[in-house]
Amino acid sequence: MKKIGILTGGGDAPGLNAVIAGVIAQAKADGASVLGILRGWAGLLEKDAVVLDPSRAEGLATRGGTILFSSRTNPYKKPNGPQTARDNFAALGLDALIACGGDDTLGVARKLYDDFKLPVVGVPKTIDNDLSGTDRTFGFDTAVNIAMRAIDDLRVTAESHRRIMVVEVMGRHAGWIALWAGMAAAADVTIIPEVKMSVAEIAAILKRKKDLGRTSAMVVVAEGVELTDAMVTQDKSTDAFGHVKLGGVGKQLEQELEKALKWEARSVILGHLQRGGAPSALDRVIGLRFGLAAAGLVREKKWGQMVSLKGNEVVGVSLTEAVGKLRTVPPAFYEEARLFF
Ligand code: F6P
């Protein structure tokens, strides 16, 4: 019986458990067994794994998070890490490995495939929706809906106090969450990393609305926006993939706007709330279909490929097509949103 390993790495995303359920279901249909590697690449380096028998798939897609846990471990930053990953793949008796992750996790999968021809298949996951090679990643829809509802709710208190409310959402290099949530919740201005906007420009938009009689305003900003010439970070530490901990640009904007407009302002960082809770129907169904398709790529021995959504079809694309270049918001889409500012 063939044995398929599956791991989930990087920031969790609603829909990961649906992918796991899909893999288990397809593996069962194909007469294969599934081994869950725990804590992303850390589990492969430490041979930390659990058997996922078919009963584990029952109702799993309804739950957020990942039953396999996650980490940002990078085998390529550990002494002998890649070789250990390869050796433990064999020691665990695996025939294939399905890696669910964003650019970092899938970048490691691609390198292990390139360096050792390790039989890997990728599944695109990130709430940031910034992976190339697929029309969308799962987790994004849930995150956007959480952010949209938060903006709707925060508008209520902003109106009561006649304030500007700045809502900071996730999005390191790409403003997909900010743009979608901002458009959906009728934000007065949305600022994304891809389009540079000065505080003076943002203030001018809000002043125009104030002059027309508006007493409150909603501003959405992605965490990766550089108002000055640097991203705002929580501290100086970086993770194993070299990423800083973002957070605070919303506070910066709150203070600048209050100063510029003499209009009381407050800010909120939505942070990890955007990754919490149960997945939306869309993320559950995409997750399940991605899981089925990933196990399908394994059955067909399509190594070095990633499942991808193209329109409504789930297809396989090369991992090389997906990693290393982020999918950012096209300028024309931002221009559409700008018409509502
Ligand atoms: O999953 C991507 C992401 O949501 C980024 O937008 C964010 O900067 C990062 O994860 C934060 O993740 P963590 O705090 O879990 O390391």
Per-10-residue mean pLDDT, the chain, length 341: 97 98 98 98 98 97 98 97 98 98 97 98 97 96 98 98 98 97 98 97 98 98 93 90 93 98 98 98 98 98 98 97 93 97 96
Query: If you take atom 16 of ligand 1, which residue's CA is the nearest one?
Result: 11
pLDDT attached to residue 320: 94
Helices (H), the chain: 16-29, 41-46, 81-91, 103-116, 140-161, 176-184, 199-211, 249-261, 281-299, 319-322, 331-338
Q: 87 C-alpha vs ligand 1 centroid, how far in Å?
A: 30
Contacting residues for 95 by C-beta, under 8 A, at least 6 apart: 2, 3, 4, 32, 119, 298
pLDDT attached to residue 229: 82
Q: 24 C-alpha vs ligand 1 centroid, how far in Å?
A: 27
Q: 54 C-alpha vs ligand 1 centroid, how far in Å?
A: 31
Query: If you take atom 11 of ligand 1, which residue's CA is the nearest one?
Result: 11
What are the catalytic residues? 128
Ligand 1 pocket residues where CB is under 6 Å: 11, 126-128, 170-172, 223, 246
Query: If you take atom 13 of ligand 1, which residue's CA is the nearest one?
Result: 11
As given in the structure block, the two tokens for residue 211 are 């002059």
Q: Which of 117, 16, 15 is nearest to 7 (CA)?
A: 16
Pocket probe for ligand 1: among 66, 73, 170, 249, the residue whose CB has the most ligand atoms within 8 Å is 170
Q: 241 C-alpha vs ligand 1 centroid, how far in Å?
A: 12
Kindly give the number of the ligand 1 atom that is closest to the alpha carbon of 13.
1
Query: If you take atom 1 of ligand 1, which residue's CA is the nearest one?
Result: 11
Element (H, E) at 97: strand 96-101
CA distance 76 to 240: 9
Beta pairing class for 96-101 and 189-191:
unpaired
- Is pTM, for the whole model, over 0.95? yes
CA distance 174 to 103: 13
Kindly give the number of the ligand 1 atom that is closest to the alpha carbon of 127.
1
CA distance 338 to 315: 33
pLDDT attached to residue 203: 98
CA distance 202 to 223: 16
Q: Which of 140, 135, 142, 105 is nearest to 307 (CA)?
A: 135
Kindly give the number of the ligand 1 atom that is closest to the alpha carbon of 224.
8
Query: If you take atom 2 of ligand 1, which residue's CA is the nearest one?
Result: 11
- For 74-96, give one letter per residue: b (16+ CB within 10 A) or e: bbeebeebbebbbebbeebebeb
Judge whether 260 and 200 are in contact, CB under 8 Å.
yes
pLDDT attached to residue 324: 84
Pocket probe for ligand 1: among 128, 142, 249, the residue whose CB has the most ligand atoms within 8 Å is 128
Query: SS3 for 268?
Result: strand
Kindly give the number of the ligand 1 atom that is closest to the alpha carbon of 143.
4
Q: 156 C-alpha vs ligand 1 centroid, how far in Å?
A: 28
Query: SS3 for 300?
Result: coil
Contacting residues for 300 by C-beta, under 8 A, at least 6 apart: none
Query: If you take atom 7 of ligand 1, which residue's CA is the nearest one?
Result: 170
pLDDT attached to residue 230: 87
pLDDT attached to residue 140: 98
CA distance 255 to 262: 10
* N- to C-terminal Cα separation, the chain: 58
